[in-house]
Amino acid sequence: MRVTIAAVGRLRSGPEKALIDDYLTRFERTGRALGLGPAQLLEVEDKKGGGMPAEAQLLAKAIPAGNVLITLDERGEVLSSPDFAQRLAGYRDSARDVTFVIGGADGIDPSLRAQAQMSISFGKMVWPHMLVRVMLTEQLYRAAAILAGTPYHRV
């Protein structure tokens, strides 16, 4: 099952990038035997100041055809990590690839939000979008660890 993270903005080298790269590598290594991953990060950037609608067009182009679309949104569904792992396993078992969308400073355009099969919230607080990338990649690795039965996730 391929996983894509389509995100607004370019992340330069720094602590967030190091964490994201590390979690993506861990997800790939732990998930491989389980049929989870690999995961790729696709960044889009609208340099013409077109706002959310322009970003939505770029995001829509970046999303591989036929993927389950999952938005990251403060208004979305709050899941436990084991529940998130089970959702991922369900998509894998149905042979579906998944794209997670992370918006920019203004959020995700409603037209794209309306197309999502699922929307996940990391709580009611608004997080910086670069931190949401870190949190999502960590949860992907955690989900793989839960499904693999390794001791990384403790309840």
Specify whether the backbone of 92 is left (phi greater than 0), alpha (psi in -120 to 50) or beta: alpha
Cα–Cα distance between 56 and 31 in angstroms, integer? Answer: 30
Binding residues for ligand SAM, how many (CB under 6 A)? 18
Least distance (Å) between residue 32 CB and ligand SAM: 27
Are 59 and 43 spatial neighbours (Cβ–Cβ below 8 Å)? no
x/- string (CB under 6 A) for ligand SAM, residues 56-75?
Answer: ----------------xxx-
Are 99 and 64 spatial neighbours (Cβ–Cβ below 8 Å)? yes
140 lies in the binding site for ligand SAM (CB under 6 A): no
33 lies in the binding site for ligand SAM (CB under 6 A): no
Six-digit token string for 8 = 């607004």
Least distance (Å) between residue 100 CB and ligand SAM: 9
Q: Which is nearer to ligand SAM, 21 or 106 (CB)?
A: 106
Per CB under 6 A, the list member of 36, 41, 108, 112 interacting with ligand SAM is 108
x/- string (CB under 6 A) for ligand SAM, residues 4-23?
Answer: --------------------
Are 101 and 110 spatial neighbours (Cβ–Cβ below 8 Å)? no
Six-digit token string for 153 = 């996730």
- DSSP letters spanning 2-32: -EEEEEES---SSHHHHHHHHHHHHHHHHHG
Q: Which is nearer to ligand SAM, 93 or 106 (CB)?
A: 106
Question: Facing residues of 4 across strands?
Answer: 40, 99
Specify whether the backbone of 154 is left (phi greater than 0), alpha (psi in -120 to 50) or beta: beta
Q: Which region, judged by CB under 6 A, interacts with ligand SAM, from 10-18, 25-33, 51-59, 125-133?
A: 125-133
Residues in the annotated binding site for S-adenosyl-L-methionine: 72, 103, 122-127
Site residues for ligand SAM per CB under 6 A: 72-74, 102-103, 105-108, 121-123, 125-129, 132
